[in-house]
Amino acid sequence: MAALWSALYDSGADVVLSGHEHSYERFAPQGPAGELDRRRGIREFVVGTGGRAHRGFESLARNSQRRDSTSFGILALTLRPEGYDWKYVPAGGSFSDDGSARCH
């Protein structure tokens, strides 16, 4: 995975979407080694909240900003030439997450 993250970083990627885990988690922009990088970093969203069951968190991951393992839902992304907006839309419950960021 390190080579993939390095290639994405070197290419100027802004966002990575993952869905393997049965939970929701948003990370601060990170460099290829997982270090906080607010200038050129890649923001990762893990959105595995559409299945039958959730998986709890064993520990707090570095640079994790928001997470939930109780709500089913989707991530709505609005892509613009200069940035993007995100909004977690739960199928039920009260968990929410939204925000926006500029592209590099």
d(CA 22, CA 28): 20
Mean pLDDT of 25-40: 97
Structural domain boundaries enclosing 16: 2-97
Q: Determine, yes or no, domain membership for 104.
A: no
Residue 53 has pLDDT above 90, yes or no: no
d(CA 77, CA 54): 22
- Its sign, for the CA torsion 28, 97, 104, 3, is positive
Give the per-residue pLDDT at 51.
80
| Position with higher pLDDT, 37 vs 92 | 37
Q: Determine, yes or no, domain membership for 102.
A: no
Q: Determine, yes or no, domain membership for 18.
A: yes
**Could you give the strand order of the β-sheet that contains 15-18, starting from the edge strand earlier in sequence?**
15-18, 43-47, 24-27, 64-68
For residue range 33-48, what is the model confidence (pLDDT) as tens digits?
A: 999 999 999 999 999 9
Mean pLDDT of 79-95: 94
User: Residues 40, 104: contact at Cβ < 8 Å?
Assistant: yes
Q: Determine, yes or no, domain membership for 16.
A: yes
